[in-house]
C-alpha cells in the first residue's frame, strides 16, 4: 500500500515536472523568435537597385544605399478669372451661385454616385456655381467659380448666395 502511494506521488510529481519543462521550453522558443528582426519587405514600386540588394536569407540584411528621390511633377491646372471661365462655358438655365456650408468641405465626384471616382474637393465657404440637380434632389452638379472644374456633390451642403454677396457666412 505504501508502495502504491509512493508510485502515485512520484507519477504526479513527474507529470508536473514534464508540464513545467514543456511550458518553459515553449516560452523560450517564442521569446527567441520574437527577438529576431524581420527582413525588410520589397514592394513592386521599389527601385531596381533596392530589389537587387535584397537579402536572400533572413537575418543578414545589408544597409540600403540611398537612391535618388524621384520628384513627382505636379499636374498644372489652369485657373481662370471668373469672367473668362464663365464666358468659356455658358451657364445653363436655372444655374445659380452658391457657397459651401459643410465645415469639412465636400468631395467632388465624377458621377452622382457615392462610389464614383473623386475628381477634386471643395472647401468650406468656397464659391461655386450649381449647374443642375438630380431628379431625386440628392446630388448637385457644380462648377468651381473661376475654373472649368465641374463635378457632383451631395445636395444640402451648399447655400445659395446673391450675385453681389461677398460676405462670409457664419459657421454653425
Give the CATH number of the domain where residue 112 resides.
Answer: 2.30.30.40
Helix, strand, coil percentages, rounded to 5, for the chain: 25, 20, 55
Residues 125, 129, 111, 155, Cα dihedral to 10°: 60
Cα separation, 96 vs 128, in Å, equals 9
Cα separation, 50 vs 43, in Å, equals 10
What lies within 8 Å, CB to CB, of 119 at 6+ separation is 108, 109, 110, 149, 151
Which of 34-38, 65-69, 150-154 has the highest mean predicted lDDT (pLDDT)? 150-154
Average pLDDT, the chain: 77
pLDDT surpassing 80 at residue 172: no
Cα separation, 43 vs 149, in Å, equals 35
Q: Which of 41-50, 76-85, 102-111, 133-142 has the lowest mean pLDDT?
A: 76-85
Say if 105 falls within a structural domain: yes
147 & 86 share domain? yes
Say if 74 falls within a structural domain: no
Query: What is the model's pLDDT at position 165?
Result: 55
User: Which domain does 40 fall in, by range?
Assistant: 2-52
Task: Say how many domains are in the chain.
Answer: 2
| pLDDT band at residue 50 using 50, 70 and 90 as cut-offs | low
Which of 71-75, 81-85, 90-94, 121-125 has the highest mean predicted lDDT (pLDDT)? 121-125
pLDDT tens figures, 74-87: 554 444 444 444 44
Helices (H) and strands (E) in the chain, counts: 3, 7
pLDDT surpassing 90 at residue 7: yes
Cα separation, 141 vs 108, in Å, equals 9
Sign (positive or negative) of CA dihedral 156, 162, 167, 170: negative
**Using only C-alpha atoms, what is the Rg of the chain?**
34
Say if 111 falls within a structural domain: yes
Cα separation, 122 vs 2, in Å, equals 89
* Cell of residue 100, nine digits: 459651401
For residue 123, give the DSSP letter: -
Say if 68 falls within a structural domain: no
Say if 64 falls within a structural domain: no
Query: What is the model's pLDDT at position 76?
Result: 46
pLDDT surpassing 80 at residue 44: no
Say if 9 falls within a structural domain: yes
Where is 42: in which H helix or E strand? none
Amino acid at each position: 500500500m505504501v508502495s502504491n502511494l509512493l508510485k502515485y506521488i512520484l507519477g504526479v510529481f513527474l507529470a508536473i515536472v514534464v508540464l513545467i519543462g514543456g511550458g518553459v521550453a515553449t516560452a523560450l522558443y517564442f521569446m527567441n523568435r520574437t527577438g529576431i528582426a524581420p527582413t525588410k519587405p520589397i514592394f513592386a514600386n521599389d527601385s531596381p537597385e533596392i530589389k537587387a540588394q535584397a537579402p536572400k536569407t533572413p537575418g543578414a540584411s545589408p544597409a540600403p544605399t540611398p537612391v535618388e528621390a524621384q520628384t513627382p511633377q505636379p499636374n498644372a491646372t489652369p485657373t481662370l478669372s471668373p469672367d473668362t471661365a464663365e464666358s468659356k462655358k455658358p451657364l445653363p438655365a436655372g444655374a445659380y451661385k452658391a457657397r459651401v456650408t459643410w465645415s469639412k468641405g465636400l468631395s467632388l465626384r465624377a458621377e452622382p454616385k457615392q462610389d464614383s471616382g473623386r475628381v477634386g474637393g471643395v472647401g468650406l465657404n468656397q464659391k461655386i456655381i450649381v449647374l443642375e440637380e438630380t431628379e431625386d434632389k440628392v446630388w448637385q452638379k457644380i462648377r468651381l467659380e473661376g475654373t472649368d472644374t465641374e463635378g457632383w456633390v451631395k445636395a444640402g451642403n451648399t447655400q445659395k448666395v446673391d450675385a453681389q454677396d461677398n460676405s462670409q457666412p457664419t459657421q454653425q
